[in-house]
Structure 1
Amino acid sequence: MLGGTRLLAGGMAVACMVLVGPSTPSGDLFGRSLPAAAVRDVVPNRVMTWNICNPCDENNGGRAAEIATYAPQVVGMQEACVRDVEKIRDYLESLYGLVYHVEYGSVLRNRSRCGGWPWSPGGFGQAILSAAPMTDRVNVEYSNGGSEDRGYMAVTTKVGGQSVRVFNTHLAQRRQEEVRADQVGVLAKEVARHDRAIVLGDFNAVSDAPELTDMWAQAADADPQCQPSPTGTGTGTGTCETTTDWDSKFDYVFLRDIAPLNQGVHPSQYSDHHLVHADLDLT
């Protein structure tokens, strides 16, 4: 009788696992279903930018589910720890069948940011996931990062079946306008070298902030309604949709000689920045 009870208990446990699904290391369910409207494969002409927030409560299974809901061809992440990105990529493949290549643009190796052993701290900075292979990666640390090291990375990959240069950056924190202006100058000069480019990132500045002037001279936002104000006062976001929990537009998909089709902005419980994705016409 005891053996039969054990078999029954074991069978019930297996049934529960099938119904409920496995858990992340932190105990959160990560095999959850996607929303009914979620895509089931990578959208080849869709790009996304997302500051995944660090330090925040770590939930890489939840982060992967958010990305899988929109399944972009290219994802640019900021405040990204290498170990977190590795887990996110693994979840995207194992749970949702979305296979991405990854390149890193780490600018810090800091145990307080990303954990790791004292002699091997985690890399912190930017990362790009792409469904297509990436080539010609560059990783540049701005000579003046402000209160924390900052930089940009760039790769060549395919979006909408076309080869394009993709940049990903994170500019200096707020109240460091002069530092951001220097950083934008460096980034915009490199973007200008390419006939077509996509620039993803957290610029820590609203659309009409003076420090973004050089960027606007090279590219337009994926949302055609989002433009700098004619006065350039830096006092508001105009008609730009806000991308942060504090109602500011800081996150951009800048396009150089590429036409936007539509843009989506989606708040997330896993970050103080929203996911921003854009569908593009590269023909």
Structure 2
Amino acid sequence: MVSGTGARFLAGGMILACMAILGPSTPGGSYVAKTLPADAPEDFVPNRVMTWNICNPCNESGSNAGRAADIASYAPQVVGLQEACVRDVERIRDYLQYLYGLDYHVEYGSVLQSWSRCGGVPWNPGGFGQAILSAAPMKDRANVEYPEGGSEDRGYMAVTTEVDGRPVRVFNTHLAQRQQAEFRAAQVDVLAKEVARHDRTIVLGDFNAMPGAPELSGMWDLAADVDPECGPAATGSCDVTTDWYSKFDYVFLRGFVPRGHEVSLTEYSDHNLLHADLEPA
């Protein structure tokens, strides 16, 4: 297995060879890697996780290549994406592998088949919902659609993978829109019951609610967010995660504590990237 700097050089050499294979999975035939920050890691960062609502529809030119570069700038071991079309995630994964040497496993939690959002053809529209990318293999995938999604179908997915060299159950969710608190409360009830079954758990997602929102109480009863200033009492100053200066995106932990976190700006979504480095509790 080639990793680190060697993987980056190998990836560059493989790009032309892969063009014929990947074809339409890489939009526009463009294989120019975006320059990463000077301090970008050269391989997966152990125990680093990320959540990101990648925004759909957001029709930025070269958005999938840009999204891949944003992820590669931090190289998390686990990434949870929301508002994710299967075709977009396939392209993001290809860019990560062939341009940046990061070979992620992928599992999908689609809750909607949507031609208007995800393209395709009317009889075979693209899947829309959540996706998890993991450096380690995943198993036991669960895909649950909430009984009441609000104005759009919503749900959560879960997989078992490895963080800190041990199995962990990872959840990824997207709750009902911000004006629909009653739907979010019911959705948190469904999610929290499953999360409570696991002692080592990472819950990623766009909860569409500020930390003090009553409907999030079921999550705060079980877990803490990676931002130590965030909590149900809202006594601290949370790092905002959206373009409208709200804290909607969370990484809830059971069996882990955060060593640090960062919210990173991006031009490819109306949500910013939230990533954190973890250690066992």
Using the size of structure 2 for normalisation, the TM-score is 0.88
Deviation at 1:39, TM superposition (A): 0.6
Matched, 1:210 2:191: no
- Structure 1, unaligned stretches of length 5 or more? 1-17, 19-23, 230-235
- How far residue 29 of structure 1 moved from its aligned partner, in angstroms, is 6.7
| Equivalent residue in structure 1 for 2:136, among 108, 123, 132 | 132
- Check the 8 A contact 1:162/1:282 in 2, yes or no: no
Residue 225 of structure 2 is aligned to residue 221 of structure 1: yes
CA contact (8 A) 2:52 2:273 kept: yes
Q: CA RMSD in A?
A: 1.6
Q: Residues 173-220 of structure 1: CA distance to partner in whole angstroms, max 9, x if unpaired?
A: 011001000000000010000011000000000000000000100100
Q: 1:215-254 maps to which residues of 2 (within 5 A)?
A: 215-229=219-233, 238-254=236-252
1:118 aligns with 2:116: no
1:271 maps to which of 263, 269, 272: 269
Inter-partner Cα distance in structure 1 for 2:32 and 2:218: 42
Q: Superposed, which structure 2 residues align to 1:1-283 within 5 Å?
A: 25-26=27-28, 30-58=32-60, 59-229=63-233, 238-282=236-280
1:22-59 Cα shifts (integer Å, max 9, x gaps): xx634777412211011110001100000000000251
Partner SS, residue 186 of structure 1: helix
Corresponding residue for residue 233 of structure 1: none
The superposition leaves residues 107-141 of structure 1 with CA deviations (integer Å, 9 ceiling, x where unpaired) of 00010010001110000000000000001100000
Amino acid of the structure 2 residue aligned with 1:158: E
Unaligned runs of 5+ in 2: 1-15, 17-25
Letter in 2 for 1:103: E
Look up the match of 1:10.
none
Deviation at 1:160, TM superposition (A): 2.0
Amino acid at match of 1:260: P
Partners of 1:247 and 1:29 in 2: CA distance: 34
The 1-side partners of 2:171 and 2:99 are apart by: 28
1:248-275 deviation digits (Å, cap 9, x = unpaired): 0000000012111000100100000000
Give the Cα–Cα distance (whole angstroms) in 2 for the partners of residues 106 and 92 of structure 1: 21
Alignment-mate amino acid for residue 181 of structure 2: E
SS in 2 for 1:48: strand
For 2:185 and 2:116, locate their aligned partners in 1 and report how far apart those are by CA, in whole Å: 28
Q: Secondary structure at the match of 2:183?
A: helix
Where does structure 1 differ by over 3 angstroms across 4 or more consecutive aligned residues?
Answer: 26-30
Amino acid paired to 2:74: Y
On the 8 A contact 1:206/1:237 being kept in 2, the answer is no
Cα distance in 1 for partners of 2:186, 2:34 equals 44
For the residues of structure 2 that align with 1:238 and 1:261, how far apart are their CA atoms?
18
Match of 2:13 in 1: none
Q: CA distance change for structure 1 residues 146 and 137 in 2, over 3 Å: closer, same or farther?
A: same
Q: Matches of 1:223 and 1:238 in 2, distance apart?
A: 10
Is 28-37 or 110-119 further displaced after alignment? Answer: 28-37
Say how many residue pairs are matched.
255
- CA 1:213–1:227 in 2, change beyond 3 Å: closer, same or farther? same
Give the AA of the match of 1:143: P
Q: How far apart are residue 282 of structure 1 and its match?
A: 2.3
CA distance in 2, matches of 1:282, 1:220: 14
Counterpart secondary structure, 2:186 = helix
Contact kept? 1:105, 1:139, Cα under 8 Å: yes
Distance in 2 of aligned mates of 1:226 and 1:142: 26
Q: 8 Å contact 2:78–2:132 — kept in the other structure?
A: yes
Distance 1:254 1:282, change over 3 A: same
Whether the 8 Å CA contact 1:174–1:204 is kept in 2: the answer is: yes
